[in-house]
Amino acid sequence: MVVTLGPSLDPLFVAYVAVFAAAAVASYASVAATPRIEDPDTRRGLAALLLTTGGWATAHVGFLLAPTADLSLGFYTVGLIVGLAAVGPWLYFTSAYTGRTLHRDRNLQVALVAVFLVIVAMKVTNPYHHLYYEAAFVTYPFPHLAVRHQLFHWLVLGLTYGLSIIGYFMLFERFRQVSYDTRPLLALVGVTALPVALDVVGFATPYLIDITYEPIGVAVFAVGLLFVYFYQFQAVQVTGGRDEPTILLDQTDRVREYNDPAESLFPCLQGGDALGEPLWSALPEVADALETDESIVALERSDGIRYYRVSERPFAVDRPQLGRLIVLRDVTERERYRRELERQNDRLESFASMVSHDLRNPLSVAMARLELARAERDDEHLETVADALARMERLIDDVLALARQGQPIDEPTTVSLATLAEDAWAMVDAIRADLDIVGEYTLAADSDRLQQLLENLFRNAVEHGPTASGSQALKDAVEHGSTSPDSQARRDNEERSSSSSRTQSDDAVEHGHPDADTAVTVRIGPLSDGEGFYVEDDGQGIPESERANVFESGYSTATTGTGFGLAIIDEIVTAHGWEIEIAESNEGGARFEIRVDSA
């Protein structure tokens, strides 16, 4: 039987249509404001909730205005389906807003979609089994199609309410985790549940029609959340969603909000007395830490002193900056290690300076006496003494360099690898050796220490190249060489001889020197991925079995080497935060790869 329905001038009918139409418009319009939400998952969840709620309210308007019973039932069924679909976005939104991961659980998503499809199938096929609802025309409180719900409806209603309660629980728990006044947000959340009372009245009495009123509550919630209490909404998420102590300041640096971890860390925050107080008054140690470069605050705890790094970022809500978000991260272990390392470095520096001073004085006396003895007579024993004293001087220089090169880099500057390579090569006694600079590369580094690194690598290549076998002096130095800025006199001698080093090498090749084929070529250039540079040669190379040991202090393959040269290289690399690896060049020589971008 076809029952004729349609618009009515009954005031209650007009009110129903107006309220649900307003709910639909408010829901759709609020979607445009969701991009203001900072968290993308929260933004997507709320937008989907508003769209489904808008569709739900629109279906109710169609149900009321439909001119026939069949069309009215069609709109009602659509409303049931869209209303059920709104549960998913509600859970997605509440999970994302409260910092949980339920909305990303693929198994849970598949299970909910499967249940949704089964229920939709039951609703769509209701005209055949009538297990979900039955409809009849009534005239009170105004002419409309009354729906009498059956058993399956109540089962589905219980399921949807149960899932919705999970979302409420997540929200209430998040509100409890912050010190902020969340009563306005609690009221807004409560508005979404208030229509349940209207559902009960509509079912139990004839004064309201038996229809779901939830779209009204969600629309009020959306408008209040996005246009009235949005600042509070964002503040609760950014503070309550963090495990680290978090403090929210307003534009005048007054404490506006903090979470439970912050309250536990700072007893003065308990009770809310610090709300509205300037940061420098409420938490002077945090304010002071923000003014320092390290931004470290030390706090006395029950288990001793703990260190926290204080960081900040702007807090804005789709408008100019509204304040600052202060986050404290526990860096106790790292800070203790850093401080212990500083103490060790200071002790090492003091020890090295003391050793250098106490040894250099008697060494100078011995070298002076040696020169006097040489002036009187030429004796091979004096040459042995001279070699021993020279090695002692190198050891002193290397000990000082090893102590100093591992110090942290304070202010790196942008340097050209090619320029530093040329400067370093000028300091190397590179007779019959060539430097090949491949490409251009710039990096942030301590230029003095990087030049020291290149000098040591160049010496290692030159002194272990094909020419090394012909000279005992060259064989003696795998790692040693000028490593200390204190040895300026020795560097001056090298600098005077360096201008001829490259020329002699070139002459050996260009003029057919009989030993030209034994010259070593050292090559330097950027790595293929651009994340560092390499230094390689065509010399003897480093056996793979020895590569793990060459950076150890004191390790040397030469009988008179100090064993510190490559250890100093490793210290310089570590001080910069880089990484170094040993490989084999295409010619079979040694290849050192220094990765500047170790991340």
CATH number at residue 65: 1.20.1070.10
284, 228: one domain:
no
Which of 269, 297, 330 delimits the end of a domain? 330
DSSP string, 231-289: HHHHHHHHHHT-SS-EEEEETTSBEEEEBHHHHHH-GGGGGGTTTTSBHHHH-HHHHHH
Report the alpha-carbon distance of residue 155 to residue 165 in Å, rounded: 15
Looking at the structure, do residues 214 and 265 belong to the same domain, yes or no?
A: no
Percent of the chain at pLDDT exceeding 90:
24
Confidence of residue 470 (pLDDT cuts 50, 70, 90): very low
Q: Which of 283-297, 524-538, 557-571 has the lowest mean pLDDT?
A: 557-571
Number of independent structural domains in the chain: 3
Residues 26 and 110 in one domain: yes
Interacting residues of 94 by C-beta distance below 8 A, sequence separation 6+: 45, 166, 167, 168, 170, 171
- For residue 63, the model assigns a pLDDT of 92
Quote the mean pLDDT of the chain.
79
Is residue 22 over pLDDT 90? yes
**pLDDT at residue 81 in the model:** 94
Contact 201, 208 (CB under 8 A): yes
Q: What percent of the chain has pLDDT over 70?
A: 80
Q: Residue 584: helix, strand or coil by DSSP?
A: strand
Residue 164 lies in a domain: yes
Answer with the one of 237, 262, 293 that is the final residue of a domain: 237
21 within a domain of the structure (yes/no):
yes
285 pLDDT more than 80? yes
pLDDT at 138: 79
Domain range for 569 is: 410-595
Q: Is the pLDDT of residue 486 over 60?
A: no
Q: Is residue 484 part of a domain?
A: yes
Whether residue 553 is contained in a domain is answered as: yes
User: So what's the pLDDT on residue 50?
Assistant: 93
Distance CA 341, CA 403 (A): 12
Q: What is the mean pLDDT of residues 497-526?
A: 52
Inform me whether the pLDDT recorded for 593 exceeds 50.
yes
Distance CA 174, CA 259 (A): 10
The answer to whether residue 34 sits within a structural domain is yes
- 25-39 average pLDDT score: 89
Q: Are 570 and 551 in contact (CB under 8 A)?
A: yes
CATH of the domain at 567: 3.30.565.10
The CATH code of the domain that includes 287 is 3.30.450.20
Mean pLDDT comparison of 465-474, 483-492, 559-568, highest-scoring range: 559-568
Spatial CA neighbour of 77 closest among 93, 62, 95: 62
Residues 231, 266, single domain; the answer is no
Judge if 442 and 565 occupy the same domain. yes
**What's the distance, CA 203 to chain centroid?**
54
Regarding beta strands 433-437 and 520-526, do their DSSP bridges make them parallel or antiparallel, or are they unpaired?
parallel
* Cα–Cα distance for residue pair 341/344, rounded to 1 Å: 5
Cis-peptide into 408, omega within 30 deg: no
Lowest mean pLDDT segment, chosen from 25-29, 224-228, 367-371 = 224-228
What are 420's two structure tokens? 């530093």
- Residue 180 sits in the same domain as residue 322: no
Among residues 275, 296, 330, the one where a domain terminates is: 330
pLDDT at 403: 61
Q: Identify the burial level of 191 via C-beta atoms within 10 angstroms of its C-beta, where 0-12 means exposed, 13-18 middle and 19 or more buried.
A: middle
68: helix, coil or strand? strand
Q: Contact at 8 Å (CB) between 312 and 290?
A: yes
Least confident of 168-172, 247-251, 408-412, 534-538: 408-412
Domain shared by 416 and 311, yes or no: no
